[in-house]
Amino acid sequence: MSGVFTPELLDRCISCGFCLPACPTYGLTGVETSSPRGRINLMRALETGVLTEDDPSVLEESSFCLGCRACEPVCPAGVRYGALLEEWRDHMWRGGRRPGRLKALLWAVNRSSRVRALGLPRRHARTTRRARRGPHLMLGCFERTLYPAVSRSASRLAPELSVPSAQGCCGALHAHNGELERGNVLAHELGEALPGLIVTTAGGCAAHLAGVLGGERVRELSQWLVERHGVEPPGAPRTPPLRIGLQDSCHLRNGLGVYLEPRELLARVGEYVELPSAAVCCGAAGTYSILRPDDSARVLDRHLDEIADADLDVLVVVNPGCYRQLEQGVRRRRLRTRVLHVAEVLLGA
């Protein structure tokens, strides 16, 4: 079955294996097949016809992968694994092989009107009917209804950002879940709805938009705040200082190389504690926690152990998926730690 993958992407891998220790699913199984190098070997077998798309391991591994891209920064050959995974799922999750829960999720955010309906309770940041020239604050799709305080806080931290009402989903969910083309179309639509610079509170959206529209069009909020204000955040420090930890957004860190900025900001509002696995995927991984709840919980476990050991006051997230994942995990374990978005904690929530 040739033509599934862009040859230049698939050719890049030199099979050195440096990605193995970085991969959370390889960490869970210890089996090469669920490592990035192993999955690339599966992709190559699919491309050359050695295996078919109905092969159980090909099906399982295309879905078991978190898509966290932790393999990319450690890759000496510069393999764009995230792009390969998108192409893989685009091929695998067609028709009957498409997970049922996914259809409903993507349907809900497939049209700008539906996304706006999600935000109807309107507790998110106040919007204007017409788009001014940028920079604009992006409301996100699920974030506007699940965590409306995030955009409200972001808007207060950065009042210079305009918030047009006519904005939909960025398409990251589609691109990561087998609808690559739709994912690109939605990103372009959002790019037109929000001309100029787009500031987002979601690491995953930032990476997807940067991939489609170009890095110069997009800033993640902490990146924007550091650029605009230096490392001095608008919030005032507390006494005694809060013990604050961070969960990186995988695509923000591994895709865009942004991870120092939120740390710089947090160190100014409290006692910043670097958790050993701060840079490792929390298991939310977009739709992963919904599609594979058991694996997702296994990936999350070590994070909850570390949060408990560090006895944090606040665990900060920079992506709505991680927000939901960690909030639920912390609640299940009955930890005292509060989970907040970086915008909320900077505002002194």
Q: Residues in the site for another protein, rule: CB under 8 A?
A: 11-12, 14-18, 20-21, 30-33, 35, 37-38, 41-42, 45, 50-51, 55-58, 60-61, 74, 76-78
Question: Which pair of tokens denotes residue 278?
Answer: 């701060």
Q: Which is nearer to another protein, 58 or 330 (CB)?
A: 58
Is the CB of 76 or the CB of 100 nearer to another protein?
Answer: 76
Judged by beta carbon, residue 45 or residue 149, the one nearer another protein is: 45
> In angstroms, what is the minimal distance from the CB of 20 to another protein?
5
Shortest distance, position 320 Cβ to another protein, whole Å: 32
Cβ count within 10 A of residue 310:
17
Looking at the DSSP bridge assignments, the partners of residue 244 are: 272, 314
Dist. CA 296–CA 292, nearest whole Å = 6
| Tokens matching residue 196 | 């100029």
Instruction: Sort strands 270-272 and 218-220 into parallel, antiparallel or unpaired.
Output: unpaired
Cβ closest to another protein, residue 44 vs residue 338: 44
Nearer of residues 45 and 185 to another protein, judged by Cβ: 45
| Shortest distance (Å) from residue 73 CB to another protein | 12
Please report how close the Cβ of residue 75 comes to another protein at its closest, in angstroms. Answer: 8
Q: Could you tell me if 134 and 198 are in contact, meaning their C-beta atoms sit under 8 angstroms apart?
A: yes
DSSP code for 159: T
Comparing CB distances to another protein, the nearer of 78 and 95 is 78
Give me the least distance between CB of 277 and another protein, in Å please. Answer: 16
CB of 272 to another protein, least distance (A): 22
Residue 271 three-state SS: strand
SS3 content of the chain, % helix, strand, coil (to 5): 55, 10, 40
Tally the C-alpha atoms within 13 A of residue 207's C-alpha that lie toward its C-beta. 25
Tell me if 295 sits within 8 A of 28, measured CB to CB.
yes
Q: Which is nearer to another protein, 79 or 115 (CB)?
A: 79
CB of 279 to another protein, least distance (A): 15
Element (H, E) at 153: helix 148-157
For residues 20, 26, 32 and 37, what is the CA-based torsion angle, rounded to 10 degrees? Answer: -50
